[in-house]
Amino acid sequence: MDPGDVVERFREYLRDHNLPVTHQRVDIARVLLQSDRHLSVEDVTRELRRSGHRAGLATVYRTIELLVKCGLVVERDFGEGFKRFEPARDIPQHEHLLCTTCGRVTEFRDERLERITTLVAETHGYLRQRHRLVIHGVCAACRSGAPPS
């Protein structure tokens, strides 16, 4: 989906819920929805500042909460002590690799995981619904000593 359309969907959501469509909210939504990364609240605030926008931390938090609530953004907890957020694209299921040195997040899909987790669930008498996996490690760039991009 076009990122612009998604921002428009957020505007609609705000209007439908009688919430003011402020510039700040739209700016925050744009940063998150147009990103292909997994941003923390701090990252979002930094991105906003870089593009010349300003929003208080409380507004950033509140807006992200709304974006998650309306289903446009997905919350991720990689056990780092803070949450990350990514646009809810049309990808049904993907997993993450997290670099413990530079914090880079890489996505991957592997259907073998679907099969093995189904098997594990069945072994324990479960009907598998979903799973979550984060692989912690050191990315190729960090291992080769190159600065993170």
Q: Which residues bind Zn ion (CB under 5 A)?
A: 86, 99, 101-102, 104, 107, 139, 142
Shortest distance (Å) from residue 76 CB to Zn ion: 7
Least Cβ distance, residue 32 to Zn ion (angstroms): 13
Q: Which residues contact 77 (CB under 8 A, 6 or more apart)?
A: 83, 84
**In the block, which residue shows the tokens 């941003």?**
39
If the CB atoms of residues 72 and 99 are measured against Zn ion, the closer one turns out to be 99
Considering the complex, state which of residue 26 and residue 41 has its C-beta at the smaller distance from Zn ion.
Answer: 41
Residues forming a β-bridge with 134:
96
- In terms of CB distance, is 25 or 96 closer to Zn ion? 96
Min separation Cβ 12 and Zn ion, Å: 25
Judge contact between 32 and 73, C-beta under 8 A: yes
Please enumerate, as own/partner, the contacts of 118-126 that have beta carbons within 8 Å and a separation of 24 or more. none
